[in-house]
């Protein structure tokens, strides 16, 4: 008798527990991922920030050193080389990718019969690893055996193209290879934007007698503003993170001619035994990306909320 009452009571209690558990199930399912993100993204960012204020050299050393690592970072000529290279590379890469992507998208949007063949050709480099791209371009631009030799064989004996081994020009080889890799993707973004424009608007402008040039300048290109914004965000964030391509194509050289913040961080942290300085450079990289990404994510998430 008593046994059964306790049984039902405990049964009821476990029912309630199961009910509660089921109510919490969605949160329980989400929580491992959330915990992972909190530890391995935000926790690790904090950890790196701590390291950047420490005396770490070859191994982490948790002794507070104030802004020492940042002082040393900003007194490294190498860091300025990296920043200058990032500016050159970033501006050319983003600018030319957008110009080329827009041009190809507009041309492809003229009812081209072989669009289905051309589009995948422009885009396939995006499926390759930057290491493969770097390897291929390193060979293609090889002074002596690459494109230079092709021109010589074709009779243009004075043609020289030794940018890969020229400290003043090497950064541009990275720009070229990176544009080759990403411009097709930018083209796809613009093409999607063009296909989304209201055809009525274009027809109305045509009836009003707008020339093709004015039609694009006044009506179509302004409508592509969201595509411009996404292209900029994606390319800027890829430029700041660029690492693989530099390693594969020039290895940061000749000398330090193609040093970028990402390669700087890696060598100072892992090979030059200045972990605190490396951490400080990583924190600066993070802040640069945050300045671009956070406003973008914030506005995107707010907009998607207002629509609902």
Stretch that binds other proteins, among 72-80, 167-175, 214-222, 232-240 (CB under 8 A): 232-240
In the complex, minimum distance from the CB of residue 163 to other proteins, in angstroms, rounded to a whole number: 15
What residues between 52 and 71 interact with other proteins by CB under 8 A? Answer: 60
The span from the CA of 216 to the CA of 307, in Å, is 29
What residues between 15 and 54 interact with other proteins by CB under 8 A? Answer: 22, 25-27, 29-30, 32-34, 36-38, 40-45, 47-48, 51
Determine if 272 is a binding residue for other proteins (CB under 8 A): no
Q: Residues 211-230: x/- map of binding to other proteins (CB under 8 A)?
A: ---------------x---x
Which is nearest to 83 in space by CA: 256, 269, 250, 230?
256
For other proteins, which residue of 7, 91, 99, 145 counts as binding (CB under 8 A)? 145
The span from the CA of 62 to the CA of 54, in Å, is 6
Residue placing its CB nearer to other proteins in the complex, 7 or 41: 41
Residue that is written with structure tokens 């083209």 in the block: 187
Determine if 241 is a binding residue for other proteins (CB under 8 A): yes
Determine if 77 is a binding residue for other proteins (CB under 8 A): no
Structure tokens at 103: 């041009």
The span from the CA of 263 to the CA of 294, in Å, is 24
Which is nearest to 257 in space by CA: 187, 162, 128?
162
Stretch that binds other proteins, among 69-77, 132-140, 165-173, 198-206 (CB under 8 A): 132-140
Determine if 90 is a binding residue for other proteins (CB under 8 A): no
Determine if 133 is a binding residue for other proteins (CB under 8 A): yes
Cα 70 from chain centroid (whole Å):
25
> How many residues touch other proteins (CB under 8 A)?
99
Residue placing its CB nearer to other proteins in the complex, 7 or 290: 290
Stretch that binds other proteins, among 80-88, 147-155, 163-171, 203-211 (CB under 8 A): 147-155
What residues between 152 and 181 interact with other proteins by CB under 8 A? Answer: 153, 180
Contacts of residue 143, Cβ cutoff 8 Å, sequence gap at least 6: 160, 161, 162, 164, 165
Residue that is written with structure tokens 């590379």 in the block: 89
Stretch that binds other proteins, among 66-74, 83-91, 103-111, 214-222 (CB under 8 A): 103-111
The span from the CA of 268 to the CA of 261, in Å, is 10
Give the Å distances, CA to CA, from 148 to 139, 143, 152, 209. 11, 6, 6, 49
Residue placing its CB nearer to other proteins in the complex, 2 or 308: 308
Which is nearest to 133 in space by CA: 86, 180, 97, 192?
180
What residues between 112 and 131 interact with other proteins by CB under 8 A? Answer: 112, 117-118, 120-131
Determine if 252 is a binding residue for other proteins (CB under 8 A): no
Which is nearest to 186 in space by CA: 244, 128, 91, 104?
104
Give the Å distances, CA to CA, from 137 to 92, 119, 131, 179, 306. 18, 22, 10, 12, 46
């Amino acid at each position: 008798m008593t046994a059964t009452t306790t049984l039902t009571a405990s049964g009821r209690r476990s029912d309630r527990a199961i009910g509660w558990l089921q109510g919490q199930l969605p949160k329980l399912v989400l929580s491992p991922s959330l915990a992972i993100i909190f530890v391995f993204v935000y926790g690790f960012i904090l950890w790196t920030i701590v390291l950047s204020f420490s005396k770490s050299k070859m191994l982490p050393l948790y002794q507070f050193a104030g802004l020492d690592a940042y002082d040393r970072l900003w007194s490294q000529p190498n860091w300025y080389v990296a920043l200058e290279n990032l500016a050159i590379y970033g501006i050319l890469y983003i600018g030319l990718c957008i110009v080329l992507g827009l041009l190809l998208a507009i041309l492809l949007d003229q009812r081209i019969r072989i669009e289905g063949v051309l589009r995948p050709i422009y885009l396939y480099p995006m499926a390759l690893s930057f290491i493969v791209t770097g390897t291929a371009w390193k060979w293609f631009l090889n002074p002596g055996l690459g494109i230079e030799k092709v021109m010589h064989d074709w009779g243009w004996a004075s043609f020289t193209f030794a940018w890969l081994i020229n400290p003043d020009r090497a950064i541009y080889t990275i720009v070229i290879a990176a544009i080759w890799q990403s411009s097709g993707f930018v083209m796809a973004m613009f093409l999607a934007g063009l296909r989304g424009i209201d055809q009525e608007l274009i027809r109305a402008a045509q009836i009003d007698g707008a020339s093709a040039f004015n039609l694009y300048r006044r009506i179509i290109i302004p409508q592509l503003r969201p595509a411009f914004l996404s292209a900029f965000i994606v390319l800027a964030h890829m430029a700041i993170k660029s690492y693989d391509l530099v390693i594969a194509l020039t290895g940061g050289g000749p000398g330090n001619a193609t040093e970028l913040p990402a390669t700087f961080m890696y060598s100072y942290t892992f090979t030059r035994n200045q972990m605190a300085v490396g951490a400080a450079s990583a924190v600066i990289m993070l802040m640069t990306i945050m300045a671009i990404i956070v406003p973008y994510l914030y506005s995107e998430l707010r907009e998607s909320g207002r629509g609902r």
